[in-house]
Structure 1
Amino acid sequence: MTLPSGVKGRRSASRKFRGRVPTAALAAGCLAWAVPAPVAVPADGSASKAGAAPFYAVQRDAVPVPAGVMPWGPTWFPDGRHILFEDYNGGREWIADADGANARCLTCSMSDHPGVVGGFAYAFPDRKRMFLANELGDNVKILECAPSLLDCRSHQWLPVDLSADAAPGQRNLGRRTYHLAPDGVHLGYSITRPDGLVMIVAALERGVSDYSLADPRAVNPPGPAGPTDTDPDGWANGGSLQEFKSFADGGRSAVVLAAQPGGIPQQQKIDLRTGRVTQLTGYPDWNEDGAVSPDSDLLLTASWRTQNRMTALGLLPLPRPFVNLSRAIEAIYYVSSRPGFACDLHPWLLPAGGDRNGHLVGQPLNPYGGGTDIPANNLSGQQVWSPDSTRVLLQGRSLVPPAAGANAYVQQKGTAPSELVVARINRPPTTPVPTVTTEVGSWAPTPQDYRSSYDMPGVHVVKGKSSGTAVITLGGDITGGTFSVRYQDYSDDGDYFLNGTQTVTGTVAAEVVIEDNLVATDAKGAKAGHLRSALRYRQITPRPEDGQPGVEKAGTVSSSWLGKRANGLPPVAACPGTMPRPFQLALTVTSSSPRSTIKARVTADIHGDERPVQGAAVRVGTDTAVTGPDGTVILPAPAGPQETVEVTATAGDTFLPARTPLPGPSS
């Protein structure tokens, strides 16, 4: 294979993503469950007419790094000229050039390294400092280098004191998901407390020997005003799983996880100045990590869309997440072991406004092509985007088991190939939205003043926005207790009505039992959908070692909505059989009369989301042209008496090429 000119050591990632799943992987249980038929979402084929961005030609470059180095959480330097990544096998941080080549270790010689393995690493805008934190926990440090990170002749590690987020009476159950704002001053993260996950935004202040937090604010959408509040929105906000995922819009906004609507993790965007919430995703399966591009035109979402993994729980869109904090075990089951991470969330590309409540499916940025190397989820937020919004740093993973003696992080996450994978999106470079000083408005309370639904135990009656009621019973906190919701003709839109119950009992440390018995009807009383589940999650004791699942699941779940049906939840296991694969291009061609020019249009249909493809290369004879946003090009017809002309189209390595014969005038 010919290497792109000027790129040392670069090879196309598509070469190794093709092929068959090895027999050994199949024997290990990678395809141990039947692949369900896709559940259709309401894509109507009119995405482009509705103003959605086109699909893009994407080329993945896999650039080797030294053997044994397993890149984790790669991020761009703010100037876009270098890449920072962690080696979660060796536990050190590395820097590479913008094309991924020339990787060199930044911290290997530092005997005072804080011992962070995996997690989050960001370069500050001054290029003299690096933020480093573990994925789950409080080991948060800032590395100061002189004269710069690129030439670190002297250094010091300074701790970050996070204690300003402490709230009296609320235990710290663990901080997580750290993200540095574009201004290089503010930090966003989440802290788990008995009353929920509280998302914090605060300024970093440099002291004599450490950094600390200034003016921390809880940026969760507001919970209930009090125990007698009848507005369902506050109780839904206060009962929902929330997690800080990225800054956006130059630092003005935040992308967060929220279990709304329907109880499945979804992406929302919060304007930090005003508190205004915009729903980004609504596809009825897990959508979590990701980020808006620096130019605010595109959205990256890590998702199980099209894989039908949690669709049975998310298909019915009517139940509100009043007690979803108690159902976190449904997620913990899938993301706490190496077999779970062998079926990680995949990166998908959407317009910045999101998937329009599931009407857009999007395009996979890293489709699986066979073999033991599989796509994974880069948790690092907006810094996975290059500043010009044309490249995305992808996370790789491998089905090859860890070597004996591998560290605990590798045991849990699985191994990764020794390469950086960069997805190049064929669109013109753009200018980032101007960076602003992140400002949190007065709507956001301090962490000490924040109250979730779980701070208000008892029985509460809320009113549907249109009609009916929901009776919410809260008895405990997120670690365990008894929780229920009883819907009676509950409706938020006047079109559909919900009746039935949801209950959650038990403790996360031992066993949690979840039961749903919900029926939805339309305004005429006809059945519109249902959700029935009886699920039991039990902690395995003693806890297995070597990254094996610590939770076992039993039970059944089924759901329906407006003619669509979903059943069951898959076990924790690798899932190459359901991973998105490269999608087929569609090519239509016409010619002028007489045949002097040929017009070609390139489109793709991804599970009903049909759009033109920008950046596709269309070839006729010796001439090649590249499609624009409408997916079309006009090329000269080949000279001569040819009766039939073959037209071909390619679009990077995430789509399969297409070819179409164009008959001659006399054919």
Structure 2
Amino acid sequence: MPSLLFILSATLITALETLSPLKVDTTVNLSSITVDRSVVPLPPTVARLDTQSCIWTRDGVAILCPFDIIDQGWQIGTIYPDGSNFQCISCAADIEGSPGFLYAFPDKKSIFFATASQSSSPDAVSLPQVVECSPSVLQCERATVRSVKIPEVDGTLSLREPRITPDGHHLEWTILRTDGFLMLMGELTRTSESYTVSNARVLNAAPNPTTSEQWAIRGAFSEGKSFFKGKTLVFASTRGQGGNLDDYTLDLATGAVTRVTFNSEWDEDGAFDPSGTYILLGTSRRMHNQLRTVTSMNLAPFIDGSVFLTLSFASLSTTEQRLHILEKWLITPASDAAGLDGVMLNCKQGGWASGASKNPWNPDGKRAAWGERGQNGTTRLIIATFTGLPSSASLSCEFPQDDEDCQTPTPLWAPLLVDYPLLEAGQYSIAGPSGGKAILTTSANVLGPLHAIDYHGYVQVDGTVVNGRTEMKGLFSSGNQTLTSNVRLSGPHQGNSTWILRVVGRQVCGTAVSTVDGISLVTHHGQFDPSCGFVRPEMCPDGADADATEIGETGCIELPGACANDTDRTKYMAQSIEGPGENCS
């Protein structure tokens, strides 16, 4: 597939970034892995659970989840994998709002959480807090909720995706500022009555961009997602390829960045197993034709912050779309870089979909847990038990004070947030890596009204010449924005793309078309079908995209309890979700 090879080639818009010290085993064969899935029985007092925020306790004995308890509302609770020993931790405490983003402190007495919606809305604010149990999380006889005070930042629109490090000494979170996305990390300290975060630093810094690589970092969509041990942050970003959300790793000691996934579709919420070999991630690969029309052009992410903010708000605006877009897959970095899709883990029989999960791995490295949502708002808790994964003599980071690998260094290479300037509105000239230029026009506010990039003979690293214009126009608050693009490629790679998309409220309508090296791709926005994604139904009669990437390893792997080898997925899908069609009304 020429277009896929183009995507995976060395023509990425930014230079190859320094590798972080993660284990990448090219000899790993996913066919040696089997998985047994089981459903955890929930007590009758539980109406449902938050499918995105379940995690294991630090000793791997129980699962922590936000549960909707009858007559108690949303609370934090624990349950054993066999459904026994259910307890409500926070019922006796005072929690305002629905808890999410759970993380267990190493003291086995405290749980970090945040109350907010999981909305992709630009004004979604997560309020970080800690619930402290006495004598322990597994035997919580008394619970106290304490606030977490974080630095206030001028221009902040929202606080998103908070995480604590395995050693419990740092908080990582993402803010949406008027000029884009900032991944932040600060020192977390317990005071007499609360917790405070100090010395916040910018992990994706490009304070005064001059090169195309720096402008790509500054303009990209980026969010922190998980930690591998204590020294590596996994984050999702479009920094390496415009329009393509992939997972990356950041070495917190040095600042070195490595691109982990290369699929031409949406990859997010990646989490490494304790060995650093396998990744569980939420992805739209294989089944949802949403991004590949854009990513095949291999453009720079100079205005992705604004574009992704608007499109993701519409794409993830309903539970059904969010779940089906972020399905559960098992991959390795080597297999993904080779163009293979990996193994789909969530069996969709009966219309169940897994969606995202923040940190699913058990510290034993043999099990994972996540929530699934079915039709009519039903939920269930899944335990996946793997065979063939690397064995470990001890639980990962159970006692970080005794394991240097689980201790997080202060990223002194990252600038302090207080010194990080806001981008000013105006026009900026960006030199191409190999010649030509691009003119960025920005209102310096991701909410609009204008973000545009004009390519004037912009020459990429491999010599491909880019000409044309992409424009995001309109105020987010108006509920009516347009994304138009007419871009041409010449030289080593030849092609063109035309996008005419309109965002009305929470609907994306219109068509994106691209042709690169003779391969044409089309995305028809406006109707979402779980069996096909954002395409016209007649384009995917077999339940998968007509122009989907090659099956890769999923075509030859039998997974007990999963359905990765089943090509006829239409019988598993929930009812289609009808949108207004291609013409927004």
Q: Above 0.5 in TM-score? A: yes
Name 2:38's counterpart in structure 1. 61
Name 1:635's counterpart in structure 2. none
Asked if 2 retains the 8 angstrom alpha-carbon contact of 1:315 and 1:559, the reply is no
Name 1:292's counterpart in structure 2. 272
* Separation (CA, whole Å) in 2 of partners of 1:142 and 1:49: 37
Residue 84 in 1 paired to residue 64 in 2? yes
SS at match of 1:268: strand
Name 1:149's counterpart in structure 2. 137
Name 1:529's counterpart in structure 2. 495
Name 1:598's counterpart in structure 2. none
Shift of 1:190: 1.0
Name 2:188's counterpart in structure 1. 204
* Separation (CA, whole Å) in 2 of partners of 1:613 and 1:123: 38
Q: How does 1:183-194 map to 2 (within 5 A)?
A: 183-194=167-178
Name 1:259's counterpart in structure 2. 238
Name 2:83's counterpart in structure 1. 101
Counterpart selection for 2:412 from 439, 442, 448: 442
Residue 520 in 1 paired to residue 500 in 2? no
Summarize the Cα distance change of 1:66–1:108 in structure 2 as closer, same or farther, 3 Å threshold: farther
Shift of 1:354: 7.0
Q: Which has the higher helix share?
A: 2
Q: How does 1:468-487 map to 2 (within 5 A)?
A: 468-487=436-455
Name 2:203's counterpart in structure 1. 219
* Separation (CA, whole Å) in 2 of partners of 1:569 and 1:100: 44
SS at match of 2:444: strand
Please say which structure displays the higher CA radius of gyration. 1
Asked if 2 retains the 8 angstrom alpha-carbon contact of 1:339 and 1:573, the reply is no
* Separation (CA, whole Å) in 1 of partners of 2:462 and 2:565: 45
* Separation (CA, whole Å) in 1 of partners of 2:280 and 2:347: 14
* Separation (CA, whole Å) in 1 of partners of 2:125 and 2:443: 27
* Separation (CA, whole Å) in 1 of partners of 2:212 and 2:237: 15
Shift of 1:450: 2.3
Summarize the Cα distance change of 1:354–1:499 in structure 2 as closer, same or farther, 3 Å threshold: farther
* Separation (CA, whole Å) in 1 of partners of 2:243 and 2:160: 21
Shift of 1:94: 1.6
Residue 321 in 1 paired to residue 291 in 2? no
* Separation (CA, whole Å) in 2 of partners of 1:517 and 1:612: 36
Asked if 1 retains the 8 angstrom alpha-carbon contact of 2:35 and 2:385, the reply is yes
Name 1:24's counterpart in structure 2. none
Name 2:166's counterpart in structure 1. 182
* Separation (CA, whole Å) in 1 of partners of 2:195 and 2:26: 48
* Separation (CA, whole Å) in 2 of partners of 1:611 and 1:340: 23
Counterpart selection for 1:491 from 448, 459, 484: 459
* Separation (CA, whole Å) in 2 of partners of 1:218 and 1:571: 36
Asked if 2 retains the 8 angstrom alpha-carbon contact of 1:43 and 1:608, the reply is no
Q: Deviations over 1:283-335 (max 9, x none)?
A: 11111112111211111221111123313443324210111112121111011
Matched residues, number:
515
TM-score by length of 1: 0.71
Shift of 1:564: 2.7
* Separation (CA, whole Å) in 1 of partners of 2:3 and 2:66: 39
SS at match of 2:449: strand
Summarize the Cα distance change of 1:137–1:315 in structure 2 as closer, same or farther, 3 Å threshold: closer
Q: How does 1:399-410 map to 2 (within 5 A)?
A: 399-400=375-376
Asked if 2 retains the 8 angstrom alpha-carbon contact of 1:312 and 1:558, the reply is no
SS at match of 1:567: strand
* Separation (CA, whole Å) in 2 of partners of 1:476 and 1:49: 42
Q: Which has the higher strand share?
A: 1
Asked if 2 retains the 8 angstrom alpha-carbon contact of 1:504 and 1:514, the reply is yes
TM-score by length of 2: 0.81
Asked if 1 retains the 8 angstrom alpha-carbon contact of 2:146 and 2:195, the reply is yes
Asked if 2 retains the 8 angstrom alpha-carbon contact of 1:292 and 1:352, the reply is no
CA RMSD of aligned residues (A): 3.1
Name 1:601's counterpart in structure 2. none
* Separation (CA, whole Å) in 1 of partners of 2:159 and 2:335: 28
Residue 427 in 1 paired to residue 388 in 2? yes
* Separation (CA, whole Å) in 1 of partners of 2:514 and 2:165: 40
- Percent of residue pairs identical: 24
Q: Deviations over 1:479-524 (max 9, x none)?
A: 112221111232332342221111111111112211111111233x
Question: What amino acid is aligned across from residue 70 of structure 1 in structure 2?
Answer: R
Q: How does 1:386-397 map to 2 (within 5 A)?
A: 386-397=362-373
SS at match of 2:206: coil
Shift of 1:242: 1.2
* Separation (CA, whole Å) in 2 of partners of 1:451 and 1:300: 35
Residue 280 in 1 paired to residue 260 in 2? yes
Which range moves more in the overlay, 151-160 or 51-60? 51-60
Summarize the Cα distance change of 1:395–1:54 in structure 2 as closer, same or farther, 3 Å threshold: same
Residue 609 in 1 paired to residue 552 in 2? yes
Asked if 1 retains the 8 angstrom alpha-carbon contact of 2:509 and 2:526, the reply is no
Summarize the Cα distance change of 1:316–1:613 in structure 2 as closer, same or farther, 3 Å threshold: closer
Name 2:314's counterpart in structure 1. 333
SS at match of 1:467: coil
Asked if 2 retains the 8 angstrom alpha-carbon contact of 1:459 and 1:474, the reply is yes
